[in-house]
Amino acid sequence: MSDPHVVQKAPFIIELEPGTYWWCACGRSATQPFCDGSHKGTQFSPKKVEITEKRKVGLCGCKHSANAPLCDGSHKTL
Protein backbone atom coordinates (compact mmCIF):
# COMPACT_ATOMS: atom_id res chain seq x y z
CA MET A 1 0.00 0.00 0.00
CA SER A 2 1.39 3.39 -0.94
CA ASP A 3 1.41 6.38 1.38
CA PRO A 4 -1.06 9.22 0.98
CA HIS A 5 0.12 12.62 -0.24
CA VAL A 6 0.96 14.96 2.67
CA VAL A 7 -1.06 18.11 2.05
CA GLN A 8 0.20 20.04 5.06
CA LYS A 9 1.95 19.25 8.33
CA ALA A 10 -0.84 20.73 10.43
CA PRO A 11 -4.55 20.09 10.89
CA PHE A 12 -7.26 21.92 9.01
CA ILE A 13 -9.13 23.80 11.76
CA ILE A 14 -12.65 24.30 10.43
CA GLU A 15 -16.00 25.24 11.91
CA LEU A 16 -18.55 22.87 10.42
CA GLU A 17 -22.32 23.09 10.28
CA PRO A 18 -24.39 19.96 11.00
CA GLY A 19 -24.27 17.54 8.09
CA THR A 20 -22.33 14.80 6.36
CA TYR A 21 -18.86 15.47 4.98
CA TRP A 22 -16.31 13.25 3.22
CA TRP A 23 -12.70 13.72 4.36
CA CYS A 24 -10.00 13.16 1.72
CA ALA A 25 -7.74 10.25 2.74
CA CYS A 26 -5.46 10.22 -0.33
CA GLY A 27 -4.26 13.83 -0.22
CA ARG A 28 -4.98 14.42 -3.91
CA SER A 29 -8.21 16.41 -3.62
CA ALA A 30 -8.22 20.02 -4.81
CA THR A 31 -10.90 20.78 -2.21
CA GLN A 32 -8.87 19.88 0.91
CA PRO A 33 -9.62 18.61 3.45
CA PHE A 34 -12.68 17.24 1.67
CA CYS A 35 -12.91 14.65 -1.10
CA ASP A 36 -13.40 15.65 -4.73
CA GLY A 37 -13.11 12.10 -6.17
CA SER A 38 -9.38 12.31 -6.96
CA HIS A 39 -8.81 9.01 -5.12
CA LYS A 40 -10.43 7.04 -7.95
CA GLY A 41 -7.97 4.46 -9.24
CA THR A 42 -6.07 4.34 -5.92
CA GLN A 43 -6.48 2.13 -2.84
CA PHE A 44 -7.72 5.12 -0.81
CA SER A 45 -11.33 5.91 0.08
CA PRO A 46 -12.71 9.04 1.76
CA LYS A 47 -13.91 8.87 5.36
CA LYS A 48 -17.42 9.91 6.28
CA VAL A 49 -17.66 12.67 8.90
CA GLU A 50 -21.03 13.16 10.63
CA ILE A 51 -21.48 16.49 12.42
CA THR A 52 -24.60 16.75 14.60
CA GLU A 53 -24.13 20.29 15.86
CA LYS A 54 -22.10 23.28 14.71
CA ARG A 55 -18.54 22.89 16.03
CA LYS A 56 -14.89 23.49 15.31
CA VAL A 57 -12.86 20.40 14.32
CA GLY A 58 -9.21 19.68 13.54
CA LEU A 59 -9.17 17.50 10.43
CA CYS A 60 -5.91 15.75 9.60
CA GLY A 61 -3.87 17.51 6.91
CA CYS A 62 -0.96 15.06 6.72
CA LYS A 63 -3.24 12.07 6.04
CA HIS A 64 -1.30 9.88 8.51
CA SER A 65 -3.47 10.20 11.64
CA ALA A 66 -4.34 6.95 13.42
CA ASN A 67 -7.53 8.75 14.48
CA ALA A 68 -8.52 9.87 10.96
CA PRO A 69 -10.22 12.03 10.00
CA LEU A 70 -9.27 13.87 13.19
CA CYS A 71 -5.71 15.06 13.75
CA ASP A 72 -3.71 13.08 16.32
CA GLY A 73 -0.42 14.97 15.96
CA SER A 74 1.16 12.46 13.54
CA HIS A 75 2.34 15.37 11.36
CA LYS A 76 4.95 16.16 14.02
CA THR A 77 6.87 12.97 13.16
CA LEU A 78 6.86 13.32 9.35
pLDDT at 1: 62
Type of residue numbered 51: I
pLDDT at 2: 87
Q: How far is CA 8 from CA 32, 48, 52, in A?
A: 10, 20, 27
41 within 8 A of 30, measured Cβ to Cβ? no
- The predicted model scores a pTM of 0.94
Asked whether residue 4 is assigned to any structural domain, the reply reads no
Q: How far is CA 31 from CA 1, 22, 76, in A?
A: 24, 11, 23
Asked whether residue 2 is assigned to any structural domain, the reply reads no
Nearest to residue 63, comparing CAs of 30, 31, 33?
Answer: 33
In sequence order, the 6+-apart residues with CB closer than 8 A to the CB of 9 are 61, 62, 75, 76, 78
How many domains does one find in the chain? Answer: 1
28-78 pLDDT per residue, tens: 999 999 999 999 999 999 999 999 999 999 999 999 999 999 999 999 999
Residue 20: which domain range? Answer: 12-77
Asked whether residue 53 is assigned to any structural domain, the reply reads yes
